[in-house]
Structure formats: C-alpha cells, structure tokens
Amino acid sequence: MEQAYLRRRYLISFEARRVPHIFTDVLVIGAGVAGLRSAIAAAGYGEVIVTSKTRLAESNSVYAQGGAAAVLDERDSVEAHVADTLAAGGDLCDEPVVRDIVTEAPRHIRQLSDWGARFDLQDGQLALTREGGHGARRIVHAHGDATGRELVDTLIRKARTEPNVKLFDECIILDLL
C-alpha cells in the first residue's frame, strides 16, 4: 500500500489560483557571496530573484573571517599561487579549475573595490598578508577578520543597483512549479 506522503505532489497544500505567482528568468536561493555574485552576473541576461531565509545580511558568508587570496604583489605570480594551492589541496584540487580561479582573482578583487568594498590598506595600498599554505603575501582582509561581512554588504549594495535583481529576505522556498 502506497504511503500518503508518496502520493502528495507538493510540500504544502494550496490552490494555485489563490496563491500569488512570481515569475523570473533566474531564481537564486541563498544570499551569501556566491548567490549574490551569481545574481549580479545573471542580471545582464534577464530578471533575477534572490531569496534569503533570514535577513539579507545574515548569510553564513557574513561570518567568514578569513581573507581572499589573489596575486596582487609584483613579487608574486600566478604559477606560485597555483603551486601553493595544489600543495595545500592534497591531490583534491582540479588544476585547470585552480588555475582559472587564481588567474581571475585579482580582477575580482579590483571589481569588488570598484563596487565599494573597503579592504584593509597599508600606506594607501591593499594590505597583503601571508597565511596558511600560501608562500607569498596575497591575502586581503576587510576590517581585520570581517571580510565576509564586507563582501556581503558590498554585494547587497551592488545588487540593489541592478534593475533586474529583486531581493527577497525572510523568504522560505517550499515548492517550485
């Protein structure tokens, strides 16, 4: 005998005619750094909705205390960064993916700065630190250990300037039709 929960099509009962419909080209569930950055990129191709189950500024990304790694010092190189990442990754890294990310990282740090991210500075330049498995100074922070919060705040501000992005906070997604 089939269980009742197996026959049910949706998580909650509802009549489609009575529920407001919201249509979008792209739905991003989650308003952390990855979700917000994806929404900003997708806004060039159509309408985007970003949902957050809590307030927008309360994603897990907000609590990320580490910095962001990028080759920003002339004494450093993409090759050295790739080598450090592969060594620290213990054979779990896909080298072409690592190379792509490391190559693009400086551009993204500059872009975030252009969008208003306030990274820590030293003598008017980005303050670079050496951490973890990195053999060179290539880590940027914001407000010490509040890099995650600064990135999220910057991306929320940028997303709000995009006419094709709508942000929904305290929104739970139950069913997609």
**pLDDT exceeds 80 at position 3:** no
- Read off the pLDDT of residues 94-121 as tens digits, 9 standing for 90 and up: 999 999 999 999 999 999 999 999 999 9
For residue 164, the 8-state DSSP code is T
DSSP letters spanning 5-52 = HHH--SSS---GGGS-----SEEEE--SHHHHHHHHHHTTTS-EEEE-
Q: What average pLDDT score do residues 158-177 get?
A: 91
Please give the structure tokens belonging to residue 112: 């975030």
Q: pLDDT band at 84, cuts 50/70/90? A: very high
- Read off the pLDDT of residues 153-165 as tens digits, 9 standing for 90 and up: 999 999 999 999 9
Mean pLDDT of the chain: 92
Q: pLDDT band at 7, cuts 50/70/90? A: low
Please give the structure tokens belonging to residue 169: 């906070």
pLDDT score recorded for residue 164: 98
Q: pLDDT band at 4, cuts 50/70/90? A: low
> pTM of the full predicted structure?
0.88
Q: What average pLDDT score do residues 53-60 get?
A: 92
Q: pLDDT band at 5, cuts 50/70/90? A: low
Q: pLDDT band at 2, cuts 50/70/90? A: low
